[in-house]
Chains A and B, each alone.
Chain A
């Protein structure tokens, strides 16, 4: 036995159980799908259809100038809905800028969820009400927040799990690394969901990482990595539910990579035809998350044409209500600019507020 063996180095963790399966986990279309809860599946279907309609409506609102920008999650709705459904009410969701739909699926008001993208205030909802952190525009910076919140909850003895969402591009950021490392060292009740949608704006995954998969990154931190078909909502839900349960029971964090595809451009400001072929988009259309679930439901006679129509009509009503509310011009108070910078405004801010108030009064009189 060498000095190294005796005093310096001992393997701490067997990496084998942490490694992701070679193929993304699937449920719909497999024999196991027959055992899935029918009520849950139909709930998922309704949420997916509504989510797709929400994405279409929000995209249309950008064209009408009602939204400054909308990063659509069309094609990725299964991940968005599954993330929300995997959590208990006391848990926390940490969404990225593309995850409006996950916030809505968790109960955030559809209009309030769009406040940031509307050009109204940055966060339209109270994060504590539904335990949804503000949508994070900087990449991966919300992940350490999720770890800290979960850590704090555990210190207090509260039964809380944090689920943090990030894209494939975000996994290259330093905060991704630091968050996963902290979570693993502290054994925090956190689930990291990477939606690998193929592109970080225009940069494909092959230019983003040399890792065998993004789920493989988990092993280096000492947490399990799970690979799942991100367009199979039952599979994403099962994997996330298992990871959430594991975190809740004290089993520590999990990294889940969901393989999905962004059907729309990055935002309305992006031209996706410059970096990807139509054929690729068409190929993914066949693996659309709604179509995949619809096939599985029809196979089990859980869905018929009438139910499809009813679901679509329900989504249409949601879209009409959203459209109507978004067509109202928001009334903003310019004095709010100074209201929430500090608990007590500084003398400098009080002076500036007085200046703006005088300008507004002069404006009103002219």
Chain B
């Protein structure tokens, strides 16, 4: 069973670190431990990545372990497939969510299917790092939340950290995985800080396990990645309304942790799914369906979704209207047809 923790671990003599630093540390530790790990991508070498996630790694491990590639996402992923076929563990960076689309054919037709089409003789241990999501004032093509495309493709694992500790733990687990993992890094949390130390082994997060970030009894907010901090804020604000909200951080979209989600919703009887990507055909629709199927007799209200609008990602000056905020979440909670209060 998952245990309740807070989004920001309580200080235990550790130092404040950003999610970006935790990711960097996870890459460094993986490179140091396993010579078959190779980092690939545009600008990840000398520059250290546009978000500095690979800062210093080319210098420390050499440019054959942390390689600046030509600017070509299909080429980056396609060559990484060939490297994995030869027994290496490539970790590729797609730089920005929408820049990953040229690699989509490689992803769907080869990365996701190689183990299956070769009946297990050729697994692809590949990690694809995709900085994703909005809220950083990026111009178009720099803020897409594209997790539904990946989650809909069998053969891929899809994980997304929401805390500094998980950024480290989940990335380590992804690189160690014998299957391809889409590792979605919430851009707007890159500079979020927490008291954290990579030496704490209990914080290495297994893929496929959700975690309850805040315990409550009135309703469950089910969320992941960039929306977790918004949900935790909403849960604090909801106290004034007399609502005690539970917040579940999925951490992994594929595999999906039905157990943790179901247990929570059966306790609270009400659920709202929150994510910033478009609602139609989105991950929230899948979660709402699963919760309805498993918790129907425990539900006091229909499962609601709070998602981004079904629009192309808006310009920075309007994105705050698109991204689910505290008020929109509280409004949804208010629509859960309260009678018990």
Number of chain A residues close to chain B: CB under 8 A: 41
B256 touches A147 (CB 8 A): no
Known contacts A144-B74, A182-B72; A340/B82 CB under 8 A: no
Q: Report B93-132 CB contacts with A as 1/0, cut-off 8 Å.
A: 0000000001001100110011111111111000000000
- Contacting B109 at CB < 8 Å: which of A126, A138, A144, A152? A138
Most chain B CB within a 10 A radius of its CB, from A123, A143, A185, A340: A340
From B24-32, B83-91, B186-194, B316-324, the one touching the partner chain is: B83-91
At the interface, yes or no: A48 with Cβ under 8 Å from chain B? Answer: no
At the interface, yes or no: A122 with Cβ under 8 Å from chain B? Answer: yes
Assembled-state Cα–Cα distance A156/B117 (Å): 27
Minimum C-beta distance from B324 to chain A (A): 26
Complex contacts, B157 vs chain A, CB 8 Å: 342
Q: Report B10-35 CB contacts with A as 1/0, cut-off 8 Å.
A: 00000000000000000000000000
A145 touches B72 (CB 8 A): no
B259 touches A128 (CB 8 A): no
At the interface, yes or no: A175 with Cβ under 8 Å from chain B? Answer: yes
Assembled-state Cα–Cα distance A99/B314 (Å): 47
A-B contact count (CB 8 A): 142
- Contacting A121 at CB < 8 Å: which of B79, B119, B177, B256? B119
Known contacts A126-B121, A181-B72, A347-B259; A341/B78 CB under 8 A: no
Complex contacts, B259 vs chain A, CB 8 Å: 347
A342 touches B115 (CB 8 A): yes
Known contacts A127-B85, A134-B117, A148-B81; A343/B178 CB under 8 A: yes
B75 touches A182 (CB 8 A): yes
A145 touches B75 (CB 8 A): no
| Closest residue on chain A to residue B102 by CB atoms | A174
Most chain A CB within a 10 A radius of its CB, from B75, B110, B114, B115: B75
At the interface, yes or no: B216 with Cβ under 8 Å from chain A? Answer: no
B178 touches A141 (CB 8 A): no
At the interface, yes or no: A28 with Cβ under 8 Å from chain B? Answer: no
A148 touches B85 (CB 8 A): yes
Q: Report A275-318 CB contacts with B as 1/0, cut-off 8 Å.
A: 00000000000000000000000000000000000000000000
At the interface, yes or no: B236 with Cβ under 8 Å from chain A? Answer: no
- Contacting A144 at CB < 8 Å: which of B82, B123, B178? B82
B155 touches A151 (CB 8 A): no
At the interface, yes or no: B2 with Cβ under 8 Å from chain A? Answer: no
At the interface, yes or no: A179 with Cβ under 8 Å from chain B? Answer: yes
Complex contacts, A121 vs chain B, CB 8 Å: 117, 119
| Closest residue on chain A to residue B256 by CB atoms | A348
Assembled-state Cα–Cα distance A72/B118 (Å): 23
B155 touches A342 (CB 8 A): yes
At the interface, yes or no: A150 with Cβ under 8 Å from chain B? Answer: yes
Minimum C-beta distance from A317 to chain B (A): 30
At the interface, yes or no: A234 with Cβ under 8 Å from chain B? Answer: no
Complex contacts, A177 vs chain B, CB 8 Å: 72
At the interface, yes or no: B235 with Cβ under 8 Å from chain A? Answer: no
B82 touches A152 (CB 8 A): yes
At the interface, yes or no: B154 with Cβ under 8 Å from chain A? Answer: yes
At the interface, yes or no: A263 with Cβ under 8 Å from chain B? Answer: no
- Contacting B70 at CB < 8 Å: which of A127, A181, A343, A348? A181
A347 touches B85 (CB 8 A): no
Chain A residues numbered 177-218 whose CB sits less than 8 Å from any CB in chain B: 177-179, 181-182, 185
A182 touches B70 (CB 8 A): yes
At the interface, yes or no: A146 with Cβ under 8 Å from chain B? Answer: yes
A149 touches B86 (CB 8 A): yes
At the interface, yes or no: A153 with Cβ under 8 Å from chain B? Answer: yes
At the interface, yes or no: A155 with Cβ under 8 Å from chain B? Answer: yes
Assembled-state Cα–Cα distance A150/B79 (Å): 9
A179 touches B78 (CB 8 A): yes
| Closest residue on chain A to residue B82 by CB atoms | A148
Q: Report A135-174 CB contacts with B as 1/0, cut-off 8 Å.
A: 0001001011111111111011000001000000000001
A347 touches B119 (CB 8 A): no
Complex contacts, A134 vs chain B, CB 8 Å: 114, 117-118, 122
Assembled-state Cα–Cα distance A147/B178 (Å): 22
Assembled-state Cα–Cα distance A227/B221 (Å): 64
Known contacts A342-B157, A342-B179, A343-B123; A148/B117 CB under 8 A: no
Complex contacts, B122 vs chain A, CB 8 Å: 126-128, 134
Assembled-state Cα–Cα distance A17/B206 (Å): 55
Complex contacts, A153 vs chain B, CB 8 Å: 86
Known contacts A151-B82, A182-B70; A346/B254 CB under 8 A: yes
At the interface, yes or no: A324 with Cβ under 8 Å from chain B? Answer: no
Complex contacts, A138 vs chain B, CB 8 Å: 105, 109-110
Assembled-state Cα–Cα distance A144/B70 (Å): 13
Complex contacts, B78 vs chain A, CB 8 Å: 141, 143-145, 147-148, 175, 178-179
Assembled-state Cα–Cα distance A138/B117 (Å): 14
Minimum C-beta distance from B250 to chain A (A): 13
B116 touches A347 (CB 8 A): no
At the interface, yes or no: A244 with Cβ under 8 Å from chain B? Answer: no
Complex contacts, A343 vs chain B, CB 8 Å: 115, 123, 177-179
At the interface, yes or no: B69 with Cβ under 8 Å from chain A? Answer: yes
Minimum C-beta distance from B256 to chain A (A): 6
Assembled-state Cα–Cα distance A41/B334 (Å): 83
Chain B residues numbered 51-76 whose CB sits less than 8 Å from any CB in chain A: 64, 69-70, 72, 74-75
Known contacts A144-B75, A347-B258; A149/B121 CB under 8 A: no
Chain A residues numbered 341-360 whose CB sits less than 8 Å from any CB in chain B: 341-343, 346-348
At the interface, yes or no: B138 with Cβ under 8 Å from chain A? Answer: no
At the interface, yes or no: A38 with Cβ under 8 Å from chain B? Answer: no
| 15 A–B contacts, CB within 8 A, in A order | A123-B117, A134-B117, A145-B79, A148-B79, A148-B85, A148-B90, A152-B38, A153-B86, A174-B102, A175-B105, A179-B79, A182-B79, A340-B115, A341-B155, A342-B157
Instruction: Please report A residues at the B interface, Cβ cutoff 8 Å.
Output: 121-123, 126-128, 133-134, 138, 141, 143-153, 155-156, 162, 174-175, 177-179, 181-182, 185, 336, 339-343, 346-348
Instruction: Please report B residues at the A interface, Cβ cutoff 8 Å.
Output: 38, 64, 69-70, 72, 74-75, 77-88, 90, 102, 105-106, 109-110, 113-123, 154-155, 157, 177-179, 208, 254-259
